[in-house]
C-alpha cells in the first residue's frame, strides 16, 4: 500500500494537492483511487475534490480543460497525465432522475462526501495518506461490503443509477452488497426505468468487464434488476439462457454478440438501438457475430482468423470460451494461426482486380470481380494455391469466372 502511494500516478498527483494548497485552497484525493489504493488494486483515474472553483483552478494550472464547469469539474494536464478536479459540491434534487437539478459549490469536504454513493467511495485522502472517513468506509473495505452513504432508499430514489453502480462495483472489486442496501435496491429498482440508457450503458460496460462479473450477474438475476433494464425487461427468459460462467468482456459489442447467440429472438440491431450503442460497438458486434456464425459451422480455421480483425481476437476467444467452456479458445491460438497465414489481407494477394480484368478483357467490370478475388483469397489462405502471380494466373485460366 505504501509502495503504491510513493509511485506514479500518486507521486505526481501529490504535487497537485500541494500546489492547490499553496494558493490557499484545500484539495484531497477522492473516490475510486482512494478505495483502490486501500485495496492494493491497480489505480484507474486519480480524481480530486477541492475547495477552489473551476475558475480558480484555471488560474493555478497552465493546462486546464473545462469539461464540466457547471458541475464543478475540470481536467488538469500535469506532467503528461490528466486529472479530474471537482469543486466540493452538494447536489440538488434529481427530479428528472438524470442530472441533479442544481449543483451548489460548498466549502467543506465533509459535505461533499455526503453526496457520494457508497461508503467505500466516500473516502478522502490528503497528500500524506491521511484519510477522512465519515461513514466507516474503511471498515466496509475491510469487510468487502458495498453500503450506501445514508439511507439506501433515499439515495437510490435520488439517483437510481446507483443501483446499477452497486452491481458494477461488485463486479469490479468482488464486494458483497450489504443487506439493508440490497433491500433498498429491491424497493427502488422500478425507478431504473427513468434513467437515460446512456448512463446505464456506461455502468453495464464496466460491469461486464469486471473481474468478478459472475458475482454481479448473480445479483442482477437474484434481485431481479433485469426486470427494469432495456431489452431484458421485455424478455425475462433471456437471463434463464445465461451461461453458467462468465469471463470479463472488455467490449459491449462482445456482450451483445453473446446475448444474441444465446437468445436469437433479439437481434444485434435491436440491442444496438435499444442501448443506443456507438458505431464502434456496432462494428465490433457485427464482426464478432459474423465470425461466431462461421465458427459454429466450421470451428476455428485459417479463414476465420483471416477475416476477423486481429484487434478482436481477444473478444472473440472470450465469447467462444464463455459459450463453449469445454472447447475454450485463446487469443494466442488465433495469433499463432494468423502468423502462419500466407497473406493477411487482399492487398497482399499477388493478383488484383485489374489483373483479373486484363485476363478477361471481354468481361465487363462488375460484382464478379470482388467475388472472384474473395475466392482467390480463400484458396490462398487455405494454402490450396500459392500466392504467386503466375501460379494464380494459371489457376484462373483453368477456372474462368462464371459471370452469369
Ligand atoms: P472507477 O475506478 O471505475 O472510475 P470510481 O469510484 O472512481 O470508479 P466514478 O464513476 O468514476 O467511479 O465516480 C467517481 C466518484 O464519484 C465515486 O467514487 C463516487 O464517490 C462519486 N459518484 C459517481 N457517480 C455517483 C452517483 N451517481 N451518485 C453518487 N456519487 C457518485
Ligand atoms: Mg473514477
- From first to last of its 404 residues, the chain has per-residue pLDDT tens of 455 788 888 889 999 999 999 999 999 999 999 999 999 998 889 999 999 999 999 999 999 999 999 999 999 999 999 999 999 999 866 656 556 667 899 999 999 999 999 999 999 999 999 999 999 999 999 999 999 999 999 999 999 999 999 999 999 999 999 999 999 999 999 999 999 999 999 999 999 999 999 999 999 999 999 999 999 999 999 999 999 999 999 999 999 999 999 999 999 999 999 999 999 999 999 999 999 999 999 999 999 999 999 999 999 999 999 999 999 999 999 999 999 999 999 999 999 999 999 999 988 899 999 999 999 999 999 999 999 999 999 999 999 988 76
The predicted structure's pLDDT at residue 61: 97
Ligand nearest to the CA of 117: 1
> Whose Cα sits closest to atom 2 in ligand 1?
32
Ligand 1 pocket test, candidate residues 31, 112, 173, 174, most atoms within 8 A of CB: 31
The predicted structure's pLDDT at residue 1: 46
User: Is 126 exposed, middle or buried (CB count within 10 Å of its CB: 0-12, 13-18, 19+)?
Assistant: middle
Tell me, yes or no, if the pTM score tops 0.85: yes
Ligand 1 centroid to Cα of residue 31, in Å, is: 6
CA distance 257 to 312: 12
The predicted structure's pLDDT at residue 96: 60
Chain centroid to CA 223: how far?
A: 23
CA distance 190 to 193: 6
Mark 249-258 as b/e (b = at least 16 C-beta within 10 Å): bebbbbbbbb
Contacts of 27 (CB under 8 A, 6+ apart): 16, 17, 20, 21, 48, 49, 50, 51, 52, 85
Ligand 2 centroid to Cα of residue 167, in Å, is: 16
Contact 277, 201 (CB under 8 A): yes
Ligand 2 centroid to Cα of residue 204, in Å, is: 15
The pocket around ligand 1, CB under 6 angstroms, is made up of 31-32, 44-45, 47, 116-117, 121-122, 159, 161-162, 206
Amino acid at each position: 500500500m505504501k509502495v503504491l502511494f510513493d509511485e506514479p500516478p500518486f507521486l505526481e498527483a501529490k504535487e497537485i494537492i500541494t500546489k492547490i494548497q499553496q494558493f490557499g485552497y484545500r484539495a484531497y484525493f477522492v473516490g475510486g483511487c482512494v478505495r483502490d489504493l486501500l485495496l492494493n488494486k491497480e489505480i484507474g483515474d486519480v480524481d480530486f475534490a477541492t475547495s477552489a472553483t473551476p475558475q480558480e483552478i484555471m488560474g493555478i494550472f497552465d493546462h486546464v480543460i473545462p469539461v464540466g464547469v457547471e458541475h464543478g469539474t475540470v481536467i488538469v494536464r500535469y506532467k503528461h497525465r490528466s486529472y479530474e478536479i471537482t469543486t466540493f459540491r452538494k447536489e440538488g434534487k434529481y427530479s428528472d432522475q438524470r442530472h441533479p437539478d442544481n449543483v451548489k459549490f460548498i466549502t467543506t469536504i465533509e459535505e461533499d462526501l455526503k453526496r457520494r454513493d457508497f461508503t467505500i467511495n466516500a473516502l478522502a485522502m490528503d497528500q500524506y495518506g491521511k484519510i477522512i472517513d465519515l461513514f466507516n468506509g474503511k471498515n466496509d473495505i475491510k469487510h468487502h461490503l458495498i453500503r450506501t452513504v445514508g439511507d439506501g432508499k433515499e439515495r437510490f430514489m435520488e439517483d437510481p443509477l446507483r443501483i446499477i453502480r452497486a452491481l458494477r462495483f461488485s463486479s469490479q472489486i468482488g464486494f458483497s452488497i450489504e443487506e439493508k442496501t440490497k433491500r433498498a435496491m429491491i424497493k427502488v429498482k422500478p425507478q431504473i426505468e427513468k434513467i437515460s440508457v446512456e448512463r446505464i450503458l456506461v455502468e453495464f460496460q464496466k460491469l461486464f468487464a469486471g473481474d468478478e462479473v459472475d458475482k454481479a450477474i448473480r445479483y442482477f438475476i437474484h434481485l431481479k434488476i433485469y426486470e427494469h433494464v432495456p431489452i431484458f425487461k421485455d424478455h425475462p427468459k433471456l437471463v434463464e439462457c445465461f451461461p453458467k460462467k462468465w469471463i470479463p468482456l472488455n467490449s459491449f459489442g462482445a456482450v451483445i454478440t453473446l446475448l444474441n447467440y444465446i437468445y436469437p429472438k433479439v437481434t444485434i440491431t435491436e440491442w444496438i438501438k435499444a442501448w443506443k450503442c456507438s458505431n464502434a460497438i456496432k462494428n465490433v458486434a457485427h464482426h464478432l457475430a459474423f465470425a461466431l456464425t462461421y465458427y459454429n459451422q466450421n470451428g476455428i480455421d485459417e479463414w476465420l482468423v483471416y477475416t476477423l480483425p486481429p484487434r478482436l481476437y481477444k473478444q472473440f476467444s472470450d465469447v467462444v470460451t464463455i459459450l463453449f467452456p469445454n472447447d475454450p479458445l485463446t487469443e494466442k491460438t488465433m495469433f499463432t494461426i494468423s502468423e502462419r497465414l500466407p497473406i493477411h489481407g487482399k492487398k497482399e494477394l499477388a493478383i488484383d482486380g485489374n489483373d483479373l480484368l486484363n485476363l478477361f478483357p471481354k468481361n465487363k467490370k462488375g460484382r464478379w470481380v470482388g467475388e472472384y478475388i474473395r475466392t482467390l483469397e480463400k484458396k490462398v489462405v487455405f494454402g490450396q494455391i500459392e500466392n504467386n502471380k503466375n501460379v494464380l494466373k494459371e489457376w484462373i485460366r483453368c477456372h474462368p469466372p462464371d459471370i452469369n
